[in-house]
Structure formats: C-alpha cells, structure tokens
Amino acid sequence: MKAIEITSYGAPEVLRAVERPDPVAGTGELLIRVAASGVNRPDVLQRKGHYPVPPGASDLPGLEVAGEIVSGDAAALAEAGFKIGDRVCALVAGGGYAELCVAPVAQCLPVPKGWSDSEAASLPETFFTVWSNVFERGRLQKGETLLIQGGSSGIGVTAIQIAKALGATVIVTAGSDGKCEACKALGADHAINYRTSDFAEEAKKLTGGKGVDVILDMVAGDYVAREIECMAEDGRLVIIAVQGGVKSDFNAGLVLRKRLVITGSTLRPRPVAFKGAIAKALREKVWPLLESGAIKPVIHSTFVAGGEPSGAAQAHALMESNQHIGKIVLTW
C-alpha cells in the first residue's frame, strides 16, 4: 500500500509517500480501504517528535480514517452489525495516513447517511475527544454555559455544534474577528477575539457575573489563572492541550471557594474498551444529529495525500499557518 511516513522529525517536508506492506486485521479488528484521512494537530506534534507513538500502534501518522471495510474478524464484525463493503469511519491510535488501515471494530462508526468519505474522515478524533472531555469529564448539561478556547479549531467547531445541539450556551475565543464570525455562524452565542479582549472579563460580563460552568481548554499556561477567575461555582475546567505552556500560577483559594474541578485527559493512549464506550455513546446521542443535519461537516481544505510535494506536507503547513477554520482532510 501507499502510505505517508515521517522520514525524520522536522518540517512538513519530512512527510513522504512510501510503499509499505499491507496491514492485516487481528482479533477484534477490521481492515479499511481508506478513502480519506483526517489531519489533526497531534499529527503535527508527532511529526516534530513531541508526541510519542503509544506501544503497539503504527508508526505512521493519522488518527482517523473513513472508507470501506475489506476484511476483518467475522465474529466482531457480526456483533457490531458491520459487514464487508460497509462504509465506516474509525478512530485509530496511528496508521491513518495510508491506503489501508487496521482499526478495532469497537472504534468504528457507520458513515452517517448523506455524508461523504472526506466528511466522515473529519469526525472521529474531534468527536471522541469532545464527547469524552466536555460531556463525560466536564458533565456539561443543557442550560449551562461552555467556554471553548480555540473555537475555530477542528476540536472547537465540533464542540460548538454538539454543545449547541444539546442545549448549552456557547462562548468561544479565537484569534481573529473573521474566526469569531465563523464560530458564530456555526452557532456560538458569543465569540471573543482573544488578541484584542480579555476573555475572562468578557466571559464574566456575558454571564452576568455568574461565570461559565465548563471550559474546554487547549491552551493552559497562564490561561488557567484567568479561567479560574471566570468560572461559576461548581465549574469544571477540562484541559486537553498545553499550547500556552505546562506551568500555571493560579489562586488555589478560588478553587476551594467555588468548589471547582480541574481535570484533563489525552485520548490516544486509552484502551480500546474506553474508546469503544465513547463510540457507543456517540452513535446513540450524536450520530442522529449528524444525519438530521443539525451538525454539519466543517472542512477547510482537502489535499490528495500522495504526490510530490506530498499533500500531507501541504496539509501540515496549512495547519501550522493557523489560517484554517475547522478540519483539514487528505484523500487517497
């Protein structure tokens, strides 16, 4: 098969199209002929050598794919209600930038009715992450307020749409007025340009002084102190990335007085059973929203994966330019 390899750690050009042996599905797994692969910021971190591959995972980048089932563990397929030829999208721990990809059956979901392969490939990584962090760890409820740092990211556009569809008020931050407008067009109630306004002051004003109930934070660093200031009593801060640094200096007294919960997680190293449980919840609670049109794909650009220079390299360069709104996808 053709695949995109990280030939050495470095700039996007280290991503090169190569030939690799076809992978083989083992127990509980299926093999997908990949039509499209989603690109995520963790792929960029992996390419730079900052995101180690979990034990047992493919060294190839790529955490999500969509395509057709070509073979697999018959018993696991039957139990999940899949058959050869079905179109699925899958969350994988690596190996997504390839024409063929093995996935645990438990981490596969049907391509939502009416969605293309490219659109479906944009789903798993952000939908699993947002469900697990905002709705499970963060326990966001209907009627509560969610603050999303980085509303125009792949993660952000997913969080805006699910939270709105399930009845929350959504405030986002983004780095330009254009990105703020795009977030509002997706349903965000309020958007704060974090380069020109203090998000904590704005969030307090927007909630009438009460503060926000849940924060999805992909920045951390010095954001944490300001987040704690603008959280409501019994608020939950969920950290999923540390783009602003790992160290924070915050007022611990506020954590006690407001009874705050500070938590976080990384999805990739979690076991199949954990990811399978998220897949079940998504299929029940979110897939109907994708099929009804309540939640729409937000794809900024699509690149052909192979070629010279590789479309994957162009996709990574775009992601690092931070010009995108929503998802970037590779096609095969």
- Residues near ligand NAP, by CB under 6 A: 40-42, 125, 129, 149-150, 152-156, 173-175, 179, 194, 218-219, 240-241, 243-244, 265-267, 319, 322
CA distance 286 to 18: 36
| Shortest Cβ 152–ligand NAP spacing (Å) | 5
CA 249 to chain centroid, in Å, comes to 27
Q: At what angle do helices 154-165 and 177-185 cross, to 10 degrees?
A: 40
**Closest CB to ligand NAP among residues 245, 309:** 245
Burial 265-284 (b: 16+ CB within 10 A, else e): eebbebebebbbebbeebee
**Closest CB to ligand NAP among residues 26, 49:** 49
| Shortest Cβ 138–ligand NAP spacing (Å) | 13
| Shortest Cβ 9–ligand NAP spacing (Å) | 16
**Closest CB to ligand NAP among residues 140, 240:** 240
**Closest CB to ligand NAP among residues 103, 134:** 134
| Shortest Cβ 317–ligand NAP spacing (Å) | 12
**Closest CB to ligand NAP among residues 69, 206:** 206
CA distance 187 to 170: 8
| Shortest Cβ 218–ligand NAP spacing (Å) | 4
Helix (H, G, I), strand (E, B) or coil at 9: coil
Whether the Cβ atoms of residue 156 and residue 241 lie closer than 8 Å to each other: no
